[in-house]
Structure 1
Amino acid sequence: MQRFGTLSFGHYGPLGGGHILTAQDSMLQAIDLAQGMDDLGVNGAYFRVHHFARQQSSPMPLLAAIAAKTQRIEVGTGVIDMRYENPLYLAEEAASVDLISEGRLALGVSRGSPETVVRGYEAFGYTGSTDPRGADIAREHFDLFLRAVEGEGLAERDAMSPFGGGSGLQRIEPHSPGLRSRIWWGAGNRDSAEWAGRMGVNLMSSTLLTEDRGLPFDELQAQQIDAFREAWRGAGHAGEPRVSVSRSIFPITTAEDEMYFGSRQDGDGVGYIDGMRSTFGKTYAGAPDALVDQLLADAAVQSADTLMLTIPSQLGVAFNLRIVESFAKHVAPALGWKSTQHAVTA
């Protein structure tokens, strides 16, 4: 494990007891938490994207704000639902954030997760899908997005234009030359992981896999990662791709930790999502030494270079920063991680 960061679902709304977390609260707290993690030397702050829900839905302004207030931390998504996206506008926004952050964007995209509405992407104007889940729209949008990120000319110049004219095809602007290497595909099964490898993009392995072959989740996920890397090499891509996995991990070091997470340790789960039998990863909660042993035995965590901690963002900045700091001090170094700072304060 070379890097770790947080994956926030960005929930807001009623918290119980008459307390409400607003959308503004959620975004401002995300900025504050990222600043605190940057000071600790944590590597990344990543955000889930959901539409028609009380969660983050338009991540680019948030990522730009975090990038402007931090120095080292990677900012990213896990993942943007390509069914909802105008590919060229997303390419412009992504290039802008990548330039503002000086190359710290890790843009995870995919078909997206199950929704709270029926075919919500159609309300955004993207119709005509022949797939009940809109996967064909997501792949079409991704193809055009990738061409735009690569700098391909996509619109014919107007020779009569008072703003430059000329001939040939014009690329979108701004253009960030290194962004192509920082695009990730969120894969929920082996087929999509192999496709990502052939496309030459990094892999964000999902929090669940739409497979059930009687194997523990971590072994199933490690096999998916192996298949991705084999497809990458088979396609002749240069260099080594990055791979991330996400886990719910809670070091228990205080009575408050025990109250929240003491009963959260559980095993893998099997259920149905989008009508497909799926395998879900377990929650890790316990003393730091026990977590180290468990994570060293997690085949996918050992295979990936980046670990994303799913965090209970509704519990506020101080609480989540304490979880992250505890992981950084007591667990992560034993997994091979080194802070981007000179040291993490003992």
Structure 2
Amino acid sequence: MRAFGFLSFGHYGGSPAQGGITARQMLHDAIDIGVGADELGVNGAYFRVHHYARQSASPMPLLSAVAARTQRIEVGTGVIDMRYENPLYLAEEAAALDLIADGRVALGISRGAPEAAERGWESFGYTGSSDPRGADIALSKFDVFLKAIQGHPMTRAAAQPYMSDARPHAPLAIEPQSEELIRHIWWGAGSRATAERTGQMGLNLMSSTLLTEATGAAFGDLQAEQIDVFRESFKAAGHTHAPRVSVSRSVFPIVTEQDRRIFGMRPGEDSDQIGIIDGTRSTFGRSYTGEPDQLIEQLKADAAVQSADTLLLTIPSQAGVDLNLHILQSFAEHVAPALGWKPSTEGPVQGDPVA
């Protein structure tokens, strides 16, 4: 593990008297956590994206705000649901964000997890899917997005281009362009087949918080096998740059009595969980809670954590800025160094060389 960051689900809502927060507070807290994490040397600030729910839905304003107030930390998503996106508009936004952040971007994208709305992407104007999960339109739009951020022409100039130096009818690419943006795109994968396709495309792999298989093997072992499939596919496709791989875990170091009161293990959280998602029997990863020495040994035994270069810590974002920064600081001081981590000093880590 060479890098770690936090992954916020961006929840808000509920009664303020009972600890609920507003959307405004959630967003401001997210920015403050990002700033504090940057000061601690944490490598990344990542945010989940969900629609029709009281969670983060439009990530670009938030990521731009965090990037503008920080110096080194990577800003990203885990993940953007491509079913709901206009691929060309997303390409423009992503390029602008990459330029604002000076390349400190890790944009996780996928066909999306189950959402609160029934075929909610259709209400955004994206119809025509023959797949009940909308995977077909997500993949076709992602293909357009990839072409756009690599400067491929998306349309032609008018016969008399207005306020442009383009030749009449000349091919036009979206603007702005960020040459390195393609290296900052991650695909969220929950299966081996998706991991294989991600490697073929030459993207980074953001392994999901769940895997759509349940063989009885430990979540970390299943995920490590998925990572191996990705790397083998990446190499076989002939890509020569260095890819990156991230995994997510809930990790709560117990370093104070307050930690023990707040994070004391609840029944069932110390083992993997099996459940049904999208009609598929799936494996969900466990939570890690304990004193630093215990966590170090457990995470060293987690095959996927050892295989990935980046670990995303899921945080209880509704709990406020101070508690979340305490969690990150405790992990940075008492756990992460033993796993090979060093504080961020010059921006995001680079990927592992292709063998």
Deviations, residues 312-332 of structure 1 (Å, cap 9, x unaligned): 000000000000000000000
In the alignment of these two chains, the number of paired residues is 342
CA distance in 2, matches of 1:132, 1:317: 39
Q: 2:295 matched to which residue of 1?
A: 291
Q: Following superposition of structure 1 onto structure 2, how do residues 63-74 of structure 1 map, counting pairs within 5 Å?
A: 63-74=63-74
Partner of 1:138: 138
CA contact (8 A) 1:40 1:341 kept: no
1:45-70 per-residue CA deviation (whole Å, 9 max, x = no partner) reads 00000000000000000000010000
Where 2:133 maps in the other structure, the secondary structure is: coil
Alignment match, 2:242:
240
Give the whole-Å Cα distance in 2 for the aligned partners of 1:190 and 1:237.
19
Equivalent in the alignment of 1:175: 177
Contact preservation (8 Å) 2:67, 2:100: yes
Residue 230 (structure 1) aligns with = 232
Unaligned runs of 5+ in 2: 347-355
Residue of structure 2 in register with 1:213 after alignment: 215
SS at match of 1:266: coil
Distance in 2, Cα, partners of 1:90 & 1:32: 25
Gapped regions of structure 1 (runs ≥ 5): none
- Please give the alpha-carbon distance, in whole angstroms, between the structure 2 residues aligned to 1:292 and 1:3: 15
Contact 2:72 2:345 in 1 (8 A): no
Counterpart pick for 1:200 among 199, 202, 220: 202
Is residue 338 of structure 1 aligned with residue 342 of structure 2?
Answer: yes
What aligned pairs does 1:317-328 form with structure 2 within 5 A after superposition?
317-328=321-332
> Does the aligned pair in 2 maintain the 1:157–1:169 contact within 8 Å?
yes
Whether the aligned pair in 2 keeps the contact of 1:267 and 1:281 (CA below 8 Å) is yes
**What does residue 21 of structure 2 align with?**
21
Aligned to 1:35: 35
- Structure 2 distance, partners of 1:103, 1:134, is 31
Secondary structure of residue in 1 paired with 2:182: helix
User: What's the offset of the Cα at 1:257?
Assistant: 1.3
Work out whether residues 111 and 135 of structure 2, in 8 Å CA contact, stay in contact via their aligned partners in 1: yes
Q: Which amino acid aligns with 1:331?
A: V
| Aligned-partner Cα distance in 2 for 1:156–1:297 | 55
For the residues of structure 1 that align with 2:157 and 2:240, how far apart are their CA atoms? Answer: 33
Could you list the structure 1 runs, at least 4 aligned residues long, displaced by more than 6 angstroms after superposition.
Answer: none
Where does 1:72-151 land on structure 2 (aligned, <5 Å)? 72-151=72-151
Q: Distance in 1 between matches of 2:288 and 2:16?
A: 26
Shift in Å at residue 240 of structure 1? 2.2
SS of 1:102's equivalent in the other structure is coil
> Hey, what's the Cα distance between the residues in 1 that align with 2:121 and 2:79?
15
CA distance in 2, matches of 1:278, 1:178: 35
Structure 2: how far apart are the matches of 1:279 and 1:19? 31
Per-residue deviation, 1:271:
1.0
Give the residue type in structure 2 aligned to 1:214.
Answer: G
Number of the residue aligned with 1:253: 255
How far, CA to CA, are the matches of 2:336 and 2:18 in structure 1? 37
Equivalent-residue separation in structure 1 for 2:66 and 2:145 (angstroms): 24
Distance 1:19 1:250, change over 3 A: closer
SS at 2:25 equivalent? helix
Cα distance in 1 between the residues matched to 2:215 and 2:140:
30
Compute the displacement of 1:255 (Å). 1.9
Q: Which residue of 1 aligns with 2:50?
A: 50
Deviations 1:204-254 (A, max 9, x none): 000000101121100000000000000000100012210000000000112
Q: Which amino acid aligns with 1:300?
A: A
Alignment partners' CA distance in 1, 2:99 and 2:292: 38
Counterparts of 1:90 and 1:113, CA distance in 2: 19
- Root-mean-square deviation (Å): 1.2
Matched residue, 1:279:
283
